[in-house]
Structure 1
């Protein structure tokens, strides 16, 4: 596995742990079937969100990623997340998941 993929994977694993701690009982699925779909789908109560993990704020985006993140954000909540904006995104997600 390439170094950048390992870095992103490690960040993603830590992010999943944070999500499960913040949202007890949530379900987190890794989504890698269709190119461009966000990496994670989070189901929490009657709400859902998707997150595209990046190893850094300057990491390149793959084809269709902007499209899917924007489309899914229009439907519910979707963001690009990296170590530099993780806290901000988790705060926004907490607001989105409030009843």
Structure 2
């Protein structure tokens, strides 16, 4: 599955999982390596970096920003094979 198709489906799934959330795409040209998606839900937030697979190439600074944003709130690399696990962790984070 193409990363863009996975990302589009993921956005729709996030909106169903977290009614009333805001999901926005972040601009990698503004901050190189920033995760793809920002999810705002109630008084919490998370970011997700979408990949086609676990072995997909990571751009410079992507691991740095995913780790830094995870220390602040919640951030993960997400791809089709780990999607359920990451969404479960996100649900736990948003419900804590």
Write out per-residue CA displacement over residues 39-97 of structure 1, whole angstroms, 9 at most, x where no aligned residue.
00000000000000001111010000000000000000000000010000000000000
Q: In structure 2, what is the Cα distance between the partners aligned to 1:10 and 1:34?
A: 23
TM-score when normalising by structure 1? 0.92
* Structure 1 gap segments, 5+ residues each: 1-5
TM-score when normalising by structure 2? 0.95
Match of 1:83 in 2: 80
Say whether 1:19 aligns with 2:14.
yes
* Structure 2 gap segments, 5+ residues each: none
Question: How well do the aligned residues superpose, as a CA RMSD in angstroms?
Answer: 1.1
Q: Which runs of 4+ in 1 moved over 4 A?
A: none
